[in-house]
Structure 1
Amino acid sequence: MAELSRALKDSAVGAPVRAATARHLPLPLLGRVAAVVGRRVLMLAVLLALVFAAVELLPGDAATATSERGESAADIAARRHLLGLDRPAWERFWDWMTGLFTGDLGVSARGEKVAHMLADPFPNTLLLAAVAFALTAVASLALGCWAAARPGRITDRVIGHAATSAFAIPEFVVSVGLLVLLSLWTDWLPAVTVAGADGRPATWTMLVMPVLALVIPQTGWNTTIVRGALADQAAAPHVEAAHLDGLPVRRVIWRHALPGALPAIATGLATSTGMLLGGTAVVETLFNYPGIGSVLASAVSTRDTPLIAGVVVCAGAAISVVLLAADLVRARVLGSHA
């Protein structure tokens, strides 16, 4: 799922977003938005086809993977027929795709509705990713602007090296480090997440380490983007003129440089959405977080194609909404400077 962001930079959101923006966007921009949405829908369909094909290439199938000890070959064959696995893969893919338009994500290998299986864990994952996204945006903007206000100085160099190092560390390593530091050594935070009666984390403290494990690498990535975008804007005539007028550095950055840097910053943050959702698969497993990470791992082990595809389409829709928002920000800013 970590590659999902790049695949979906040209993939899917639906008509509700187009309808919501239609009242506020000029017609040329509406045409571009419609074209982007169409390409993303097509790319998501291709991605789902690849998911079906990849699962088909794995050894075994859902009928054998979910079989119990002592079941006969006839029992497994009956389950294979019940799941439709004796039909061609393209036919099963077509049936699943046509059901998707009605909100039907199919039935899992264990006979449960996929939509019901994702109803609790997917909002938990969205909560984790949304909090991590908000903190990443705030931290990267603050650090990038702080570094840009002191170009070439030690603060700029330290932030630059720290950001590069943070992005280079995988979420798995960050998670283990946080577990050792904040749980095993200091006992400040719980090592695992315990779900309450509603299926959500029992206390907010159980969100801290999973969120930090996602935020630290992505803050490094986005701080680098913010710093680079502001450096590009520093050479713009209106920014140089603001410096010559004697305006304070912070005001020059926030009022003159940052608006022009927004398209690059928005694109970087939108790309991070896919990386955040992809990283949740690892982070949720390590912290026993009740999200789609464990659901996806279980689905892959049982060759449960409808469940895997359901996770992909839900994550893809979330990523696509953020990518469309980034496209609108970029189009709006570039249009205002045209």
Structure 2
Amino acid sequence: MLSFVARRTAAALGTLLLSSLLVFLAVQALPGDVATQVLGKDATPQAVAQLRGSLGLDRPAWERYADWMRGALHGDFGTSLVSGKAVGGDVAQYLGNSALVAVITILFAVTGSLLLGIVAGLYRDRWPDHLISTVSLVGMSVPEFVVATVLVLCFSVALPWFPAVVLYGPDATVGQLLPAVWLPALALAVVMAAYIVRMARTSVIDVMASEYVTTARLKGLSTWRVVTRHALPSALLPVLHVIALNVAWLLGGVAVVENVFNYPGVGKLMLSSVQNRDLPVIQAIALISAVVYVACNLAADLGAMALNPRLRTRGRT
């Protein structure tokens, strides 16, 4: 078991190192000159050269990458070219707001989709399965910004239960943001849950048709016991990775939804940073996204090991 954990952890660290290099190279390969973009086209060559020197753009790329990684390991991502503040503090503030949406989305999407997927699998080819499958296919087909727009029309215009947009800035408290969190979370949950429902349904159908489930039924065990003790642990194994990918997707999908609701989260910060060519902020958010993606996949691997005893004993045979 320890060797399994060690291998997965080493692979995760190697992936993060490669991701950080790709993020740095991709940002550096963006067309145009950062100093000219910041100062404007009317800036003098002397001012542009001075800003390039202060930003370290006149140094070799490998030195800038080493300095950036050294600072990132200590939580220092540099200084924003727009606000002049530390990137780490700004990103942490926006990231905390996005985390509020993400936590609510995960609670609704994961629990709801697992229940719906299990019901659809147990009632295969009957009306609950047809209804759940149809709704999940619609959720997979409709983009998140369309879902967000429909939710605004339904629950902000027709039924004014929730605010359509957020009027607070990134320094808003949880109490101020809480009324406006539900529609973005629901929009993301609809899209996210659709994929998990489909995978959970397929997995439950496959497991319920397996030999060991048939044997458990022949022994006279109740359907509830067969499902909870024998089917679900195996059925959840492939679903864990789908959940991990969808949780990691939240950082990308939330950018569109946050823009629709004017929510002060990390997605909105990313869009504004791209427009303003704020490279330190872009690099920080991209690296944090890679960390979230790798952490979710590592958690899925460890969860699969906990559910599947063969993974825990593979190194002993």
Describe how 1:198-277 pairs up with structure 2 within 5 A: 198-200=171-173, 202-277=176-251
The answer to whether the 8 A contact 2:97-2:170 is kept is no
Aligned to 1:335: 309
> How far off is 1:122 after superposition?
0.8
Describe how 1:74-223 pairs up with structure 2 within 5 A: 74-110=46-82, 111-195=84-168, 198-200=171-173, 202-223=176-197
> How far off is 1:256 after superposition?
2.2
Aligned to 1:62: 34
The answer to whether the 8 A contact 2:27-2:279 is kept is yes
The answer to whether the 8 A contact 2:217-2:223 is kept is yes
> After superposition, what is the alpha-carbon deviation per residue over 1:187-223, rounded to whole angstroms, capped at 9, x for unaligned?
2211112337942351422011100111001111000
Aligned to 1:303: 277
The answer to whether the 8 A contact 2:36-2:48 is kept is yes
Q: How many residues align?
A: 310
CA distance in 1, matches of 2:43, 2:148: 40
The answer to whether the 8 A contact 2:120-2:201 is kept is yes
CA RMSD of aligned residues (A): 2.2
TM-aligned CA distance change 1:176 to 1:297, over 3 Å: same
TM-score, normalised relative to structure 1: 0.84
CA distance in 2, matches of 1:308, 1:32: 34
The answer for unaligned runs of 5 or more in structure 1 is 1-28
The answer to whether the 8 A contact 2:123-2:129 is kept is yes
CA distance in 2, matches of 1:162, 1:261: 21
CA distance in 2, matches of 1:51, 1:61: 18
Question: Amino acid of the residue matched to residue 290 of structure 1?
Answer: P
Question: Amino acid of the residue matched to residue 228 of structure 2?
Answer: W
The answer for unaligned runs of 5 or more in structure 2 is none
CA distance in 2, matches of 1:86, 1:301: 23
Q: Secondary structure at the match of 2:270?
A: helix
TM-aligned CA distance change 1:317 to 1:188, over 3 Å: same
CA distance in 2, matches of 1:197, 1:162: 35
> How far off is 1:152 after superposition?
1.5
> How far off is 1:245 after superposition?
4.6
CA distance in 2, matches of 1:301, 1:84: 22
Question: Amino acid of the residue matched to residue 309 of structure 2?
Answer: G
Which has the larger share of helix? 2
The answer to whether the 8 A contact 1:147-1:227 is kept is yes
CA distance in 2, matches of 1:81, 1:56: 15
TM-score, normalised relative to structure 2: 0.89
TM-aligned CA distance change 1:161 to 1:250, over 3 Å: farther
The answer to whether the 8 A contact 1:282-1:293 is kept is yes
